[in-house]
Amino acid sequence: MPNPNESPAVQSMKKEQAEQRKQARRGDLDKAIEDTFPASDPVSATHTSIPVGRSDVEAAERVKREPDPTALDQDYPLVDQALRPTGYEREELRALQKEAGRMAESASELASGTARLAKAEAKSFVQDIEDRIRRQPLTAAAIVAGIAFVLGATR
């Protein structure tokens, strides 16, 4: 039942959105069958990845002649062999791995130190606020009341 406080435009929009959600829930096959109801043959819900009818015969022939980029391993078996590291490169790789490990360890120590520093700063900040409240309780109460009033007025 429509809300009497809503404008006709809002009611129409809500009705249209409900209809769209209802249609979205229906499956593709159900919709296709419903659209072609009087026909005798049911609709197929399968999709093919084969392109239908190229209009450019030359482009089709060119695609047939071009090598398959996924078959590069079969056409060029020596590439993998050429890219394998030699003994000297293996030593360099090991040195790089060790250096990366040391860098990760340093980064971990730096992050840990930063976290400890942040905790200390936060603790110092909280302690400073508590000291100010103890020294000037009426001012602190007035500030809290002002903030509460502003927050209450904006809601």
Q: pLDDT tens, 21-69?
A: 777 666 666 767 777 666 555 555 565 565 555 567 777 777 777 766 6
Average pLDDT, the chain: 78
Mean pLDDT of the region 87-96: 80
Would you place residue 17 in the very low, low, confident or very high pLDDT band (cuts 50, 70, 90)? confident
Tell me the pLDDT band of 127, cut-offs 50, 70 and 90.
very high
126 contact partners, CB below 8 Å, separation of at least 6? none
Q: What is the pLDDT of residue 81?
A: 67
Per-residue confidence (pLDDT) for residue 6, from 0 to 100: 79
The verdict on pTM exceeding 0.75 is no
Most confident region among 24-38, 70-84, 109-123 by mean pLDDT: 109-123
pLDDT greater than 80 at residue 144? yes
